[in-house]
Amino acid sequence: MASASALRLSEISPLIVQSEIRSMSVECDRMGGVNLAQGVCDTGVPAPVAERALAAIEQGHNIYTRLDGIAVLRDAIAQKALRYNGIHADPESEVLVTSGATGAFYAACLALLNPGDEVLLFEPFYGYHANTLRAQRAVPVAVPLENGNWAIDFDRLRRAITPRTRALLINTPSNPCGKVFTREELAQIAAIVEEHDLIVFTDEIYEYFVFEGAQHVSFATLPGMASRTITISGLSKTFSITGWRVGYLIADRSVLGTIGYFHDLTYVCAPAPLQHGAAAGLVALPDEYYQAMARDYQSKRDLLCGALTRMGLTPSIPAGAYYVLADASRIAGANAREKARTLLAATGVAAVAGTAFFAEGRGENLLRFCFAKREEDLQRACDLLGKL
């Protein structure tokens, strides 16, 4: 047996703690509550997606695929990217199928960043983005959005740039605040990244979850930006297949091959039969599928935001994605973690402490609720919130 001293953890290990989301989910399961903490997305998988994946298993598509993914899926992604996003991508050299958007970002960082490189993240941010950077010895630098309306303070963004800044990350629609970046905002960001010659990572996993008048704009479609942008997305949310681990990225051919080698090294490939399922969904599902999904999530958003408002947990109404940040000032607790636990104990509804999405010391008065739930579960959560 190794001596205790041989089992020293790496220097970065203390930075990577279990996410609040997972620990709230565990606690919620223990209590038999309704979990609005995690974006588990337990709605049904579209029939063409599930049927093709099952058929692919039976037809023997169970071995490693090409490291950049099967041709039918890369073709389907390139066509979808052109049709929906307006991005031109060659499926042979500019599309990489990955182990979820998570694997895409991990591999892209390995290929493009050096230890100590600073990467700008708008705050509130998705915890995995910050931790992926830390895990690779890069430095996440939070640029706070204006509280409540999530506007960008461009002076603040400029001030955050140092000689070590290498990249900027845009998550639109955003987890956790639901911000959908406008074309005007993206144009101003484009001018800044051009001036400072930065890489841009975009995480567009919620691209189809946009409500009312909001419109999803891909940063890579702004003039001159495609060559410096790594566009990341996936099917986890759109097809309710978070456990399948199928995502992708689109990048300039000059770097895509190397990102692919790093992805191969970490994940080898996305699950082969599930790649077939995802491709079938992209090819078969009409625009109406995506529009109906957005309408469905908008009504779930309204249901949850209504219940939160009635309880005095004033929500910031999201324009996209499927999370709500709500003001938790009236819930007892010294900090957001305690408030989340008070709420769970009092109502059986799990939410996540806002601090999970902010740099140290911020987000203490916020809780994040997820509405990617079956209608009846969400209704139950709204009823339970009434106990507060």
**Rounded CA separation 67/270 (Å):** 9
CA gap 377, 34 in Å, rounded: 7
Q: What is d(CA 322, CA 209) in angstroms, rounded to the nearest whole number?
A: 7
Q: Nearer to ligand PLP by C-beta: 205 or 256?
A: 205
Least distance (Å) between residue 12 CB and ligand PLP: 21
Residues that bind ligand PLP (CB under 6 A): 39, 100-102, 126, 171, 175, 203, 205, 234, 236, 242, 247
- Please identify, using beta-carbon distances, which residue of 326 and 356 lies nearer to ligand PLP: 356
Number of other residues whose CB lies within 10 A of the CB of residue 6: 7
Q: Least Å distance between CB 73 and ligand PLP? A: 14
Tell me the residue nearest to ligand PLP as measured from the CB.
100
Q: Is 101 or 177 the residue whose CB approaches ligand PLP more closely?
A: 101
Percentage helix, strand, coil for the chain under 3-state DSSP, each rounded to 5: 45, 15, 40
CA 166 to chain centre: 21
Contact 139, 119 (CB under 8 A): yes
297 vs 347 by CB, closer to ligand PLP: 297
Provide the minimum distance between the beta carbon of 232 and ligand PLP in the complex, in angstroms, as a whole number: 8
Sheet holding 247-250, edge to edge: 95-98, 247-250, 229-234, 199-203, 165-171, 118-123, 139-144
| Residue 17 vs 332, nearer CB to ligand PLP | 17
- Interacting residues of 82 by C-beta distance below 8 A, sequence separation 6+: 88, 89
**Of 350 and 384, CB closest to ligand PLP:** 350
Output the smallest distance, CB 175 to ligand PLP, in A.
Answer: 4
Query: CB of 7: closest distance to ligand PLP in angstroms?
Result: 30
CB of residue 272 to ligand PLP, shortest distance in Å? 17
